[in-house]
Structures are given as C-alpha cells and as structure tokens.
Homo-oligomer: A and B are copies of this chain.
Amino acid sequence: MIKVGIIGVGTVGASVVKILKDNSDIIEARSGKKIVPVVGIVRNISRNRGVSIPLSTNVDDVLKNDDIDVVIELMGGVNEPLKVIKNALENGKSVVTANKALLAYHRYALQDIAGERALGFEASVAGGIPIIKALREGLSANHIESIKGIMNGTCNFILTKMMNEKVEFKDVLEEAQKLGYAEADPVFDVGGFDAAHKLLILASIAYGIHANPEDILIEGIEQINSEDIFFAKEFGYSIKHLTIAKKCDNKKIELRVHPALVPTSQMIAKVDGVMNGISVIGDRVGETMYYGPGAGGDATASAVIADLVDIVRVGQSSPMLGFKRDLEGGGFTLLNSDEIETKYYMRIKAADEIGVLTKITSVLGDFGISVDSFLQKQDKQDKKIATLLFSTHTCKELNIQKAMKELEKLPTCKEKPVMIRIED
C-alpha cells in the first residue's frame, strides 16, 4: 500500500481524494498497489470540503509522518510550497505538484534538491493533457523546433466568443466570470502570466533553458476588439492567445506569450472555447499536437494521479526536466525580445483626411517595415475618424515598437495604435 499526504485540499485536492477512491479498481490494477490518501492539510479546518480523509492544519502531520510515501503539494503560492517540497524530499518522500508558479521560478533548484527522488509536475501545464510526458519522453529523439500552445482556457474562451459572436472583450470577460471560467481578479489569466509560467516549464524540457517570467515577452488579450476580429476573419485568421518557444540561429531561443493571428487552417487554430492545445514541431517527427482540458478539478487531478501511478510503478521515470546532462558545447540562451522577427498586424485610428495613409506608411518605411495587406473602415460613431488595419511582412520587433511610438506622436493618430503579432 502507498500512503499519500495531500497539502492543500481545494478543488484539485478534493478531486484527487475522490478519484483515488472512485477509480481505485483501475488505479490499483495499473499501478499494482493500493494508493490511499491518509491525511489532508488545510488552513481552515472548519470548511467542509466533501472529502472522506482526516484533515489537519499541521503540515508536519505529512512531512514528519514516516508512514507517508508520497506528498502531493496543492497549496498555491511560491515560497511556502518550495520549503514544504524541499522538506518532503529531504525526508525521503516522493512529491507531486501542480504548482506552475513555483516551477516557473524554482524548477532547476527543485531538480537539484530532488536528485534521484521523483518529483512529478504533469498537472502544472495544460491540466489533463499529458504534455510534460509527451515532450520529455515521447519526443526525446528530436531537436524541438518550436512549441506553440494555447495554454490558458480563460483567454481561449474569451477569444473564441469574440470570434464567433459580435461581442467585446469586457462583456465576454464578465460572462466568463459568471460561468466560473475567469477569476474575480482576471489579470493573472487574461494578462498572460499564467500561460508564461507554463511556457517556461515546457521550454526547460525542450531546450534546458534558464529564464524567469520577468525575462520574457508577455502580453495579454485586453486590447483586442471587434475590429481586430473583423480583420482576422477577412484574411483567414483566428486570434489566439499563444505561448511560443522557438529555436533561432546561434543557440538562441525565443520565448513569448501574446495574442496572435493564426491561419484558420492550422490545427492549433481549431482549439476553441476553454480547451487547451499545444503544437510541437520536432526536427524528425514533424508536427504533433496535444489537445484537452487545461483546467478543472478532475482534469488536473487526472494528471496528478498519473504522476502518482508513475511513482508507484517505477519511482523516478525520467530526469525531472528531461536532461541527464548539459548539451555539449553549452546550452541555449534567451533571445532578446527586441530581436524577435515575425509579421505584424496593426490597428490605427486616424483622422479620415487626405494624405493620412502616406504619413503612416512613410513612418513604417522609415523603420524598414513593408505593408502586406490593408483594410480601411469608417468609424461608426465619428465619421471623421477612419480605422486603418494593416498587416506587415516579416520585420524586427524593435522596429515595430519604434514605429508604434512614432505613429502615436502623429497628430493625425487619434489613439494609441494597437499591434498583434502574426504566426503563419
């Protein structure tokens, strides 16, 4: 029998307890052992969590309990769980965590602490989709060319609604909050930070790269409006909030999180609603894509228990972050965001007067940016205002950023221009 202590019994923790009981037949047949949660650690013991195991507020009831083989950390936060996991590993226990924020900052430290001990974290990225396993084990023969993921269900729900119905960001966000798809404070999701944490975890497995959330380009979906949706549809794109890791020349890796125009023909563009999807391109296998629920108690608990079964079956099933040793000749380093090269879409509100287009394209020309396609719409409220919608050929991020600043200064520009990257 394997005894499990659960630290943090919220939605996911309660699902873990329930599934270990309800599905004990199949879990025992697959793992070869009974897996029994023996205690749950909570902050507020008076709250009813609907779970059938003893609860305690003292974390030592897990950490210092020699009967417990595996610790499941679901407490949230960064510093506390780091201490708890360290303590558990040092006490000879295996650990499973779903804590993406913790891993976004401390995954390499945790790998060092874990050593030969198992530290599972499948649930930290894309909920029920076994993407950690696919990337770390299933694609291990490949140099990873790129990862493009839709890894935040809140963003995808909002953008899918905006694509399918004529609704604006603010209104869909309210609906998402009512449906429980968005938090009361939605910034962590719609601002792209949640997705960035997940991207950093995958990037470590793909490339062994060291980076923190502060180091990479992160943009949310707050600025997207129905005019952007209109342009996207007109030119055969879907707007998705993407997490991108891409191998460039000179052992550099691009890491970025932002909304993007994606051709509707791509599989990743077909991932709708709250679902997640991750497209991975390997140099030998080509494109594989992984699709499923990225959140929810049961889906996340499914991944937590998969780690648990792995631990029971074989202990540490592979090196935590996928590398047994460093790459010869040194590893990958992060590309400076200014150096990113891609195509861009721009939305500019300008006075509808003679010569305005010339002024704008001349600014773009000054920064070596050439226009690929162009749409002009009259403003519904103010007929003297035109909305200009551009897409560009490939150019450098730094040049687009500079051009945007210059455009904003033009007297003819009526509000701050908005830019969305294009991922063909």
Contacts and interface: CB of A to CB of B under 8 A. Distances in A.
A308 B318 CA distance: 12
Interface stretch (A78-86, A230-238, A288-296): A288-296
A391 interface: no
A23 to B, nearest CB: 6
B32 A137 contact: no
Interface string A253-282: 000000000000001001000000000001
Contact of A129 (B19, B33, B129, B288): B288
A333 interface: no
Interface stretch (A155-163, A319-327, A346-354): A319-327
Contacts of A208: 29
Contacts of A288: 128-130, 290-293
B305 A25 contact: no
Interface string A376-394: 0000000000000000000
A287 B138 CA distance: 20
A32 B325 contact: yes
Nearest to A276: B288
Nearest to A329: B25
A27 interface: yes
Contacts of A27: 140-141
A141 B301 contact: yes
A285 interface: yes
A29 B323 contact: yes
A66 interface: no
A299 interface: yes
Nearest to A283: B23
Nearest to A280: B292
Interface string A126-158: 001110011001111111000000000000000
Interface in A324-352: 324-329
A306 B140 CA distance: 5
